[in-house]
Amino acid sequence: MSIRHIVVETRLGPVALIARDEAVTGLYFERHVRRPARAAFGRETAVSADPLLGEAARQLHEYLAGERREFALPFAAEGDDFQHSVWNVVKTIQCGETSTYGRIAVQLGDRSLAWQVGQALGANPLCVFVPCHRVVGSTGALTGYAGGLSRKRALLEHEQALLTVGRSS
């Protein structure tokens, strides 16, 4: 098993992108809640030496530049069945839209699972790629984001700006 990572500079700060074999398995900010120990990132490699991580970095930069709204990468997030069910719902939330923990719980069949939905999102190892920043509290308030609320706010504002530009074009 080949685990490796790169660190790329973004307007949101340095981001570690991690891959195992032929799939991206992690995207972590500095001071990311639930960030694994650096040893779990595997060896550091150069962007130019790893086509998969190079492509992940390129797509992340395109997204942050407003040139991309979806990601086309092979992902392999580690998590249990419930976490994967939550992450699969989150993947369907379109750029510029939001959902709530409760709405996702209802989609999964049980409104009382809202807290567990939040826990699954907090454990999302692919934030941004699996856009958990698009999930807000029932009142629309920004709540929890492993990358920090300031980044969550910046990502949501970025996506709203993309929609505004798209409407005026």
Select which of 121, 123, 127, 132 is catalytic: 132
127: annotated active-site residue: no
The span from the CA of 128 to the CA of 150, in Å, is 14
The span from the CA of 155 to the CA of 131, in Å, is 9
Angle CA 88–89–93, to nearest 5: 115
Task: List CB contacts of 80: < 8 A, sequence separation 6 or more.
Answer: none
SS3 assignment, position 18: strand
Question: Which candidate, 36, 130, 135, 123, places its Cα nearest to that of 83?
Answer: 123
Residue 42 amino acid letter: G
Q: Give me the active site residues, please.
A: 132
